[in-house]
Protein backbone atom coordinates (compact mmCIF):
# COMPACT_ATOMS: atom_id res chain seq x y z
CA UNK A 1 0.00 0.00 0.00
CA UNK A 2 1.19 3.50 -0.83
CA UNK A 3 0.50 5.67 2.23
CA UNK A 4 -1.25 8.93 1.35
CA UNK A 5 -2.07 10.32 4.80
CA UNK A 6 -2.46 9.19 8.39
CA UNK A 7 -4.17 11.24 11.11
CA UNK A 8 -5.79 10.98 14.54
CA UNK A 9 -9.28 9.49 14.82
CA UNK A 10 -11.52 12.04 16.52
CA UNK A 11 -13.19 11.15 19.84
CA UNK A 12 -10.60 8.47 20.65
CA UNK A 13 -7.52 8.47 22.85
CA UNK A 14 -5.15 6.91 20.33
CA UNK A 15 -7.09 5.85 17.24
CA UNK A 16 -6.05 6.67 13.69
CA UNK A 17 -7.35 6.93 10.15
CA UNK A 18 -5.07 5.78 7.35
CA UNK A 19 -5.67 6.63 3.69
CA UNK A 20 -3.69 4.90 0.99
CA UNK A 21 -3.67 3.54 -2.55
CA UNK A 22 -3.42 -0.17 -3.29
CA UNK A 23 -2.43 -1.54 -6.68
CA UNK A 24 -4.02 -4.84 -7.73
CA UNK A 25 -5.70 -5.46 -4.33
CA UNK A 26 -7.55 -8.56 -5.52
CA UNK A 27 -4.77 -10.13 -7.55
CA UNK A 28 -2.94 -9.58 -10.82
CA UNK A 29 -4.93 -7.44 -13.21
CA UNK A 30 -7.43 -6.11 -10.64
CA UNK A 31 -8.00 -2.36 -10.59
CA UNK A 32 -6.28 -0.17 -8.02
CA UNK A 33 -8.35 1.25 -5.14
CA UNK A 34 -8.21 3.93 -2.50
CA UNK A 35 -8.11 2.36 0.93
CA UNK A 36 -9.44 3.93 4.13
CA UNK A 37 -8.61 2.11 7.35
CA UNK A 38 -9.71 2.96 10.89
CA UNK A 39 -7.87 1.68 13.93
CA UNK A 40 -9.17 2.30 17.45
CA UNK A 41 -5.63 1.67 18.70
CA UNK A 42 -2.91 3.30 16.62
CA UNK A 43 -0.41 0.59 17.62
CA UNK A 44 -2.60 -2.21 16.25
CA UNK A 45 -1.18 -4.16 13.31
CA UNK A 46 -4.60 -4.64 11.70
CA UNK A 47 -7.34 -2.00 11.38
CA UNK A 48 -10.75 -2.46 12.98
CA UNK A 49 -12.49 -1.35 9.77
CA UNK A 50 -11.40 -0.75 6.23
CA UNK A 51 -12.99 0.06 2.92
CA UNK A 52 -11.69 -0.08 -0.64
CA UNK A 53 -13.08 2.51 -3.04
CA UNK A 54 -12.59 2.15 -6.80
CA UNK A 55 -11.26 5.27 -8.54
CA UNK A 56 -14.55 5.60 -10.44
CA UNK A 57 -16.47 6.07 -7.15
CA UNK A 58 -14.17 8.45 -5.27
CA UNK A 59 -15.95 11.67 -6.34
CA UNK A 60 -19.36 10.23 -5.38
CA UNK A 61 -18.04 9.12 -1.99
CA UNK A 62 -16.55 12.58 -1.36
CA UNK A 63 -19.89 14.23 -2.22
CA UNK A 64 -21.77 11.83 0.05
CA UNK A 65 -19.35 12.49 2.92
CA UNK A 66 -19.80 16.25 2.48
CA UNK A 67 -23.56 15.75 2.66
CA UNK A 68 -23.19 13.61 5.77
CA UNK A 69 -21.05 16.32 7.38
CA UNK A 70 -23.88 18.86 6.84
CA UNK A 71 -26.35 16.53 8.59
CA UNK A 72 -24.12 15.86 11.61
pTM value? 0.90
Q: The sheet that has 16-22: what strands, in order across it?
A: 2-8, 16-22, 33-39, 49-54
d(CA 17, CA 27): 25
d(CA 36, CA 70): 21
pLDDT digits (tens, 9 = 90+) for 11-48: 999 999 999 999 999 999 999 999 999 999 999 999 99
Amino acid sequence: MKLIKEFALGSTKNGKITVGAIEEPYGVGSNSVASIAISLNAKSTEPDWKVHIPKENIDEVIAALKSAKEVL
